[in-house]
Amino acid sequence: MIMGPVFRAELMRTSRRRRYYVMRTLYGLGLLLLLGTSYQNLMLTIQSYDRFQHVRGYYRQPLISILANFAIQTFVSFAVMQLVMLLALVPALFGGVIADEKQRKTIHYLMASRLSSGEIVFDKLLARLLHVLVFVLLGVPVLSSLTLMGGIPWEYLVAAYVGTFSIIFFTAALATLVSTLARRVRQGVLISYLLVIFWLFIPAIIDAVCKVVYPRFYAWFGPINAWFQATSPVYLLTQQGFMQARMPRGGTAALLESFLWMVGLQTALGALFLLLAMQQLRPAFRRQETESRRLSWFGPKVRRPRWMSRPECGNDAMLWKECHFTRTDVFTKLVVLPATILLTVCVFLSSGVDESIWGAIKELYHEGYWGHLGARSELNLRIRQISPLYIGLWLLAVAGASASSLTVEREEDTWISLTSTPLRAWEILRGKMIGAVWGLRGFGGLIGLIWLAGLLTGALHPIGLMLGLVLVALLTWGVTALAIYASLTARNTSRALTVTIVSLVIIHGGFNVIAYPLLAALSSGMSMFGYAFDQDYLNLGCTPYLASFALVSLDDLRRLFADPNSSTRPLVIDQVAIGIGTIILLGHASAAFLLTALANRRFDAIVDRPRLK
């Protein structure tokens, strides 16, 4: 029965979670900030128009054309902001819709009931879609206020909301399918985010690269990739997709045709993902319940050869278990490993790192390490451009692994046996923190290889490499401390992941979203007095950018301490930037230390056991 007991239970359970109220409040404040920034820009436009017309008075009646442009521009900004917010919310909301039942050991009751797989999956999807609808309805007052400025054409409204609903349905169905196949909430959420990012950006990047670099391969791959691009809103909004849709042969009708194709393909694929989730619900449950991965380790099967022998347990049992006994599911490996390889290839080809490395090698051969630094300075710039992406993904992966480290013990019924051992709180927390980082050593090694290539070619100074490693280690400590504390205090993995990811986004870059428009308005007002703030310093608030900022080259050190005019390349660092970065890093280090100490002090009280000395 559609909208039956599963629908009512899911709707009531999710509606009582406080984090959704907090997210709605933050989204509403973001809409108010957007409206205020747009109004500030409108006032500046009217002021410049009055000066041009030599009309006195700042708040005179504005032209109708200016108000109409303001309404349309504000609506476009609102539609983009709403879409970005929903794309960030849907994977977290739907990635654990089925996996959460598995971790709480309640899916057995659903499987034993008379409910069909379709009723379970569809009711859960529908209940959480209603929560997404609440976020969409929060933007209605903004649209109502724009009617005072001349209104918005109905075609814009229909296109924005039809496209938004089709994208929501597609991503929600995809995340539901991933959650059906995943064992844990962490896997479902992180893999859903990864697939959504690849769906949005990778087809367009592959198309641009293969068209130039591999024309023969593009001859047969291009038509296949075109179908994937047709489903992506990023491709439709880019200049390439927009211009192809606005060809003279079709005009605006061709743009409408591309939009309808996108909506139709997203709806069809979403329905297909939903049917697959319904079909795979019970087979995946039986497969995951009957497979005993732990017992198979001790079976008579032939063991695969290991590159390095596993060390003995020693005196640190928790650290040994987390580093050498915890394994990753096959489902995660099948998705994460190909995605990492594909991401690396696309980033290298699109950023030109491969060509820059070859040019730096030739320059090193002809000029020596202390000679001309043209090509190597270019390689240093390329490394700094791609490093924030990898550092950001590294921090997100570490946060996901750490946030589920303690809650998984509760959900797998091993928490009591762990806390009843004579292990101290610090031994457990340290093992979990180091184990989360150790499990991602392969991805961290990829970042190290990129920086090592810069060091060997002379594009990266040894001091820059050491500073970069120290900063990444410091940021990793802060992320693991935050995630471990959230995992210690949260009831389940879903809540710990949500708190960790939201806090991570706000702390490590969300400040820029609020500060940029305010700083732009402040700078425009202060420009009358001959003062303007350098907005490049604000990028230091984004910690992945700050870590790549430390990757200095020999040319940077020469200009910073010896001759500022020794090169025509813009100076990347200066004393002000170093001071701002130092203050930010001290803040992160202090927060990491306090969170680690707080988790260690409160561990025994939270688990309700006497403090071990």
Q: Provide mean pLDDT across the span 408-418.
A: 82
Give Cβ neighbours of residue 458 (< 8 Å, ≥ 6 apart).
360, 364, 369, 373, 376, 554
Phi-psi region of 368 (alpha: psi -120 to 50; beta: other; left: phi over 0): left
| Residue 55 confidence (pLDDT) above 50 | no
pLDDT at 481: 93
The Cα 580–Cα 162 span in angstroms is 45
pLDDT at 476: 92
pLDDT at 294: 45
Contact 493, 184 (CB under 8 A): yes
pLDDT at 1: 56
pLDDT band at 40 (very low <50, low <70, confident <90, very high): confident
Mean pLDDT, the chain, whole residue set: 78
Identity of the highest mean pLDDT range in 24-33, 297-306, 516-525, 564-573: 24-33
Identity of the highest mean pLDDT range in 57-71, 368-382, 522-536: 368-382
| Residue 466 confidence (pLDDT) above 80 | yes
Domain ranges of the chain: 5-287, 318-607
pLDDT at 176: 94
pLDDT digits (tens, 9 = 90+) for 542-573: 777 777 778 888 777 777 665 555 554 444 56
pLDDT at 480: 93
| Residue 170 confidence (pLDDT) above 90 | yes
- Length of the chain (residues): 613
| Residue 244 confidence (pLDDT) above 80 | no
**CB-based burial label for 536 (10 Å; 0-12, 13-18, 19+):** exposed
pLDDT band at 180 (very low <50, low <70, confident <90, very high): very high
| Residue 45 confidence (pLDDT) above 70 | no
pLDDT at 179: 92
| Residue 117 confidence (pLDDT) above 70 | yes
Q: Which of 119-128, 210-219, 334-343, 495-504 has the lowest mean pLDDT?
A: 334-343
Contact 317, 423 (CB under 8 A): yes
pLDDT digits (tens, 9 = 90+) for 339-376: 677 777 777 766 778 778 888 888 887 877 776 777 88
pLDDT at 354: 75
Q: What is the dihedral of CA 71, 74, 76, 79, to 10 degrees?
A: -120
pLDDT at 512: 57
Q: What is the DSSP letter of 247?
A: -
Phi-psi region of 105 (alpha: psi -120 to 50; beta: other; left: phi over 0): left
Helix H segments across 97-139? 99-103, 107-112, 117-137
pTM for this one? 0.68
Reported for 408-415, long-range contacts at CB under 8 A and 24+ positions apart, including other chains, are 408/103, 408/184, 408/186, 408/493, 410/492, 411/103, 411/104, 411/105, 411/492, 411/493, 412/103, 413/105, 415/607
